[in-house]
Amino acid sequence: MPLDDAALAWLALALVPELLPRRTFALVERFGTPRAVLEAPAGALAAADVPPAVVASLGTAAGRARAETLKLARAGATLVAWSDGAYPPALRHIAQPPLVLAVRGSLGEPDEPAIAIVGARRASEYGRHMAAELARQLAQAGVTVVSGLAAGVDAAAHHAALAAGGRTVAVLGTGIDRVYPKWHRELARAVAGQGALVSEFPCGSPPLQFHFPRRNRIISGLTRGTIVVEAADDSGSLITARHALEQDRQVFAVPGPVGVPAHHGPNRLIQQGAKLVLSARDVIEELWPELLPRLAARRAAAAEAALSAPERQILAAIGPEGRHVDDVIRQAAVPPGAALETLLALELRGLVCQLPGKRFCRRAA
């Protein structure tokens, strides 16, 4: 679908690397429209304190924008510009919102709940496990998981959200037509099919070092909060957490052993007021309490799916209204010792609860 003139003009401005978004918005306010900025005489631009090199770049930006649209089409990507209704509302309120986004996949509904999960590339087994568990539980509750497609924590979060049947979004530090690291090509394809790949960088942009801190503001900006799983003192994940605070979003952190460098970042964030996270419930209680019943229902369904045949038999014998222990034993037709042992196991797993008078009932989701 061809871009309208406004979107094409925003794209042209985005392709002038010397202009940061805030400066670009100031110029659009001064001249009236993005097209007017592109067509402004050199003298008028100079009067607005635009350097000669930037004036020259603006003169060729429209042609580069037309070429970029062809590259986007070849990459199977669409362009979402500041002027589009599809532009994410959450990003409109951050300090340096991207002028345009290249998107492969679907950004989802504007009001869908979303959380960022970020952390170390060289994550420990514990870090990858925690990232995956949080992403899985949050995805099951209907929360979109946003991360950066990097190795370690990012990859664990994306994989787990996909496996749970949820949505996940990856914000890239490259052009939309490139994948970094290269071995995440299949993961990127899966994310685009069950969520979206997003980039503010032109097609062909390599994974330059400064791209990653810059893209982190978009990771936090797309969400209501950011979870930091593992991060050393110089980790880019702490940049994401700082952006989240500046954007008035919630920051969460997974604690770790004192003295281990990979946990310095999250532990310090907790000291500074970040909410300590042990499970997805901690996040959902804080941001979306209305999703708690859904989380409990999915957990109960998963627990029941893992039941052994004797456990299913006892659970069925309890019934929806609950029964006295003697009636459960009689209904299940199992020896009393085995029945009591199974009831205890079900109670410890949170599937049944014991009431006064030796009655048992199934725990509500």
Task: Pull the structure tokens for residue 108.
Answer: 């989802």
Give the residue-averaged pLDDT of 50-65: 95
Q: Which of 165, 20, 172 is nearest to 103 (CA)?
A: 172
- Between β-strands 195-199 and 168-171, what pairing exists: parallel, antiparallel or unpaired? parallel
Amino acid at 140: Q
Mean pLDDT, the chain, rounded, equals: 92
| Contact call for residues 243 and 89 (beta carbons, < 8 A) | no
Note the pLDDT of residue 61: 96
Interatomic CA distance for residues 287 and 211, integer angstroms = 29
Q: pLDDT at position 292, please?
A: 83
Encoded tokens for 84? 């589009």
> How much is the pLDDT for 299?
62
pLDDT at 313 over 60: yes
By DSSP bridging, strand 114-118 and strand 144-147 are: parallel
Could you tell me which of 165, 125, 169, 118 has the C-alpha nearest to residue 142? 165
pLDDT in tens, 92-144: 999 999 999 999 999 989 889 999 999 999 999 999 999 999 999 999 999 99
Q: What is the pLDDT of residues 14-45, one digit of tens each?
A: 999 999 999 999 999 999 999 999 999 999 99
pLDDT in the model for residue 152: 96
- Interval 220-257: pLDDT, tens: 999 999 999 999 988 889 999 999 999 999 999 999 99
By the 8 A CB rule, do 307 and 313 touch?
no
Residue 186, both tokens: 């299949």
Contact between residue 158 and residue 149 where contact means Cβ atoms under 8 Å apart: yes
Comparing CA positions, the residue from 114, 117, 101, 301 lying closest to residue 197 is: 101
pLDDT computed for residue 273 by the predictor: 95
Instruction: State the average pLDDT over residues 274-294.
Output: 92
Closest CA to 5 of 41, 39, 46, 50: 39
Proportion of the chain above pLDDT 70, given as a percent: 96
Conformational region of residue 319, where left means phi above 0, alpha means psi within -120 to 50, and beta covers everything else: left
Inform me whether the pLDDT recorded for 365 exceeds 60. Answer: no
CA-based torsion, 76, 80, 84, 90: positive or negative? positive
Residue with tokens 């005489």: 41
C-alpha separations of 85 from 7, 24, 88, 275 in Å: 11, 20, 8, 34
CA-to-CA distance for 218 and 196, rounded, in angstroms?
13
CATH 3.40.50.720 fits 307-362, yes or no: no
Domain boundaries 114-293, CATH class: alpha beta
Q: Give mean pLDDT, residues 33-60.
A: 95
Confidence of residue 283 (pLDDT cuts 50, 70, 90): very high
> What is residue 230's DSSP assignment?
S
**pTM summary value:** 0.82
- The whole-number pLDDT of residue 23 equals 95
Q: Look at residue 28 in the predicted model and tell me its pLDDT.
A: 96
Q: Which residue has the tokens 């929806």?
A: 320
Q: How far apart are CA 133 and CA 128, in angstroms?
A: 9
pLDDT of 318 higher than 70: yes
Q: For the packed helices 185-193 and 153-163, what is the interaxial angle rounded to 10 degrees?
A: 40
CA count, 13 A, side-chain hemisphere, 66: 4
